[in-house]
Amino acid sequence: MSESILTNPFTTVLGALGLALAGVLLQQLISFVRLRVATWAWRQLPGPASDSTFWGNIGQYFSRHGENFHRQVAVDYGSVVRLTGLLGNPILYVADPKALHTMLIDEEEIFQETDIALQITQMAFGTTLLSITGRHHAKQRKLLSPVFSVNHMRHMLPLFYDIGRKIRDAISAQVGDAKAEVNVLGWMNRSALEFIGQGGLGYSFDPLVTESKDAYADTLKSLLPNLDVNLRFQFLIPLARQIFPTWLLRVFVNTFSATSNIGRTRDNINEMFERAKEVYASKKRALAAGEAELAKQTAQGKDLVSILMQANSVADEDQRLPEEDVVSLMSMFTFAATETSSNALSRILDVLAKHPDYQARLREELLEARAADGLLSYDELNHLPLLDGVIRETLRLHPPVTMLFRVATRDTVLPLSEPVFTTDGKQIASIAVPKGSQFLLGFMGCNLSRTIWGEDALEWKPDRWVSDLPSAVTKARIPGVYSNVMSFSGGKRSCIGFKFSEMEIKVVLSVLVPNLTFELTDKPIQWNVGTVGFPTVGKESATPQLPLKVARYALPGSGV
């Protein structure tokens, strides 16, 4: 009897799975208890009360309506905040500059991305910077860094101006001679896709004239909203991968219908790979055909992927990236570049609509420099003080990326630049970090610190960048790649595309603002929390959009 059960392949598989499940759960339980004991002292650190026995503060932090909670965490408790994670285990929100420096630079190898982040990005894009760590990451990053050099940005500037002018003309045509309501986010997300399409992939997704459809663009655009739906359940992915073999997970994922969220995400990912492979193959043919053929391509072979393919073909054997990794990078670049830039640009236009005085001053600066003609050089574009201040100040107050986690891979100590007070009145100058403990990178808290930025830290004041920064800012040694602002992160895993993004934002503003005016409508704009923050009209709507009243700007005295 028992023999026949054991030899039945179905029950054997079930039995093995049951054992694996029990094993993994036991292992989880042990590490969970060990971590709870090791972080016992953290319960005295200031922070908001837990909101739920199972979810802790995760539900609040991951909620689409979490903006106020994020701000509260960033501002109300000091530079190190204890949040509660799953089943009561703590997550430290770290905004102290010295501690961030330790996590991102001095001890970067200890504070790693979480398994969740690495596995989701591996599943979505394959082997790219986002899904690898340590030496493997360093190797890919080394090959990619020259591709993002300022020198290549200079070559790309005329291409960027072309795209910028197309967007301006399209918006201008849409508003005509009247003042009209325009969904600014819609244009910013089409244009962000086109910037990375042409500048990154040498591929045009969108003629930017009227509404148009591109299958690759559509799949890329729906990936993040699909992934974001189940944000708080993402912790199940590494668990499932530990328990179940990959083939079984694949069978399981394939049982979902194409209309379910998981099914949509699955089809999305497959489609994305197929389209990226086609683009790659056509680029490979053009590169092989030589200069003349390259010149006929979109972006004339000056795009990031063409440069990467050329560098890759002459790299040493052991430095070279496998072809499939280059294909993976195409979708990953597009993903990393679109939501971030389009929401950042939309946020800037929203803020300018709220501050007509600054909008007028910025327009004056741009008109004086004749920026709308699109003939400024890279250096001229980077020497417009108010343009620079407006961008930095908006990214300081509203960092688009606020959900970056890290996990300590061994015991260590986090030094603090300012001591923190525990709830029982003690003062501590450093924090003992046990292996396995979890962290949130507190970019917003660092950006909004009154100690660093002064009493007006919460106000939007681009002028603070135009005059000399207070010495507390320069002294704080904030480890970001973008002078004193953490929005692009810092260290080995900082945003590799930040120069690209800065140039894109500057080009768009410098051609739009001289020719168009932006005003608020009476619709309430709500900024939502997501993997990247996005605006909607009111709290209920889930449709990303930013309506602003837009009109053509005519120079006073020009008779219009």
Ligand X SMILES: *[C@@H]1O[C@H](CO)[C@@H](O)[C@H](O)[C@H]1NC(C)=O
Least distance in angstroms from the C-beta of 130 to ligand HEM = 6
Q: Please tell me whether residue 130 binds ligand HEM under the rule CB under 6 A.
A: yes
Element spanning 227, H or E: helix 215-229
Is position 480 an interface residue for ligand X (rule: CB under 6 A)?
yes
Residues 385-414 that bind ligand X (CB under 6 A): 395-400
- The partner in contact with residue 328, picked from ligand HEM, ligand X, none with C-beta cut-offs of 5 to 8 angstroms by kind, is none
**Considering CB distances under 5 to 8 angstroms, the limit depending on partner class, which of ligand HEM, ligand X, none binds residue 497?**
ligand HEM
- Per-residue tokens: 252: 């399981």
In the list 269, 279, 403, 486, the residue contacting ligand X (rule: CB under 6 A) is: 486
Question: With binding defined as CB under 6 A, does residue 487 bind ligand X?
Answer: yes
Tokens in use for 59?
């539900």
Which residues, other chains included, contact 432 with Cβ-Cβ below 8 Å and sequence gap of 6+?
A: 41, 411, 413
138 exposure class (CB count in 10 Å sphere: 0-12, 13-18, 19+):
exposed
* CB-CB contact of 517 with 551 (8 Å): yes
**Residue 178: Cβ-neighbour burial (10 angstroms; 0-12, 13-18, 19+):** exposed
Mapping DSSP onto H, E and C, the string for 232-284 reads: HHCCHHHHHHHHCCHHHHHHHHHCCCCCCHHHHHHHHHHHHHHHHHHHHHHHH
Within residues 79-98, the interface with ligand HEM by CB under 6 A covers: none
Q: HEC string of 70-107?
A: HHHHHHCCCCEEEEECHHHCEEEEECCHHHHHHHHHHC
Cα–Cα nearest to 265, from 203, 220, 310? 220
* Binding partner at 77 among ligand X, ligand HEM, none, C-beta below 5 to 8 Å by kind: none
Within the chain, what is the greatest distance between any pair of CA atoms? 98
340 forms part of the interface with ligand HEM (CB under 6 A): yes
**Please, which residue, 132 or 441, has the CB nearer to ligand X?**
441
Residue 130's binding partner out of ligand HEM, ligand X, none, with CB under 5 to 8 Å set by partner kind: ligand HEM
Backbone angles phi, psi at 405, to 5 degrees: -105, 155
Question: Binding of ligand X at residue 446 (CB under 6 A)?
Answer: yes
221 contacts ligand X (rule: CB under 6 A): yes
Task: Name residue, tokens 């030589």.
Answer: 290
Residue 199 per-residue DSSP state: I
DSSP 446-499: HHT-HHHH-TTTTS--THHHHSPPPHHHHHTT---SBTTB-TT--GGGS-TTHH
196 binds ligand HEM (CB under 6 A): yes
Euclidean distance between CA atoms 383 and 87, whole angstroms? 51
Choosing from 544, 546, 547, 548, the residue that interacts with ligand X (CB under 6 A) is 544
Q: Which stretch binds ligand HEM (CB under 6 A): 215-223, 252-260, 486-494, 546-554?
A: 486-494
Instruction: Output 153 or 315, the one with its CB closest to ligand HEM.
Output: 153
The structure tokens listed for 11 are 């029950």
- Residues 140-159 interacting with ligand HEM (rule: CB under 6 A): 141
Six token digits for residue 335: 């993903």
Taking the complex as a whole, the smallest distance from the CB of residue 185 to ligand X amounts, in Å, to 6
CB of 173 to ligand HEM, least distance (A): 27
3-state secondary structure of 527: strand
Choose among ligand HEM, ligand X, none what residue 336 binds, the Cβ cut-off being 5 to 8 Å by kind: ligand HEM
Residue 446 binding partner per list ligand X, ligand HEM, none, with a CB distance cut-off of 5 to 8 Å that depends on partner kind = ligand X
Binding at 46: pick from ligand X, ligand HEM, none (beta carbon under 5-8 Å per type): none
Q: Which of residues 199-218 bind ligand HEM (CB under 6 A)?
A: 200
**Interface residues for ligand HEM in 492-521 (CB under 6 A)?**
493, 495-497, 500-501
What is the distance between the alpha carbons of residues 400 and 441, in angstroms, rounded to a whole number? 13
Amino acid at 215: A
Residue whose token pair is 């899904």 = 131
- Rounded to whole angstroms, how far apart are CA atoms 504 and 341? 8
Closest to ligand HEM by CB, 57 vs 191, is 191
- Is 529 one of the binding residues for ligand HEM (CB under 6 A)? no
Binding-site member from 56, 85, 97, 225 for ligand X (CB under 6 A): 225
d(CA 468, CA 448): 18
* Window contacting ligand HEM (CB under 6 A); options: 6-14, 375-383, 427-435, 484-492: 484-492
Residue choice 61, 69, 125, 333 for contact with ligand HEM (CB under 6 A): 333
What does 205 interact with, of ligand HEM, ligand X, none (CB < 5 to 8 A by kind)?
none
Which residues bind to ligand X, rule: CB under 6 A? Answer: 172, 186, 189-190, 221, 225, 367, 372, 395-400, 443-444, 446-448, 480, 484-487, 514-515, 544, 555
Which residues bind to ligand HEM, rule: CB under 6 A? Answer: 129-130, 141, 196, 200, 333, 336-337, 340-341, 344, 400-401, 404, 487-489, 493, 495-497, 500-501
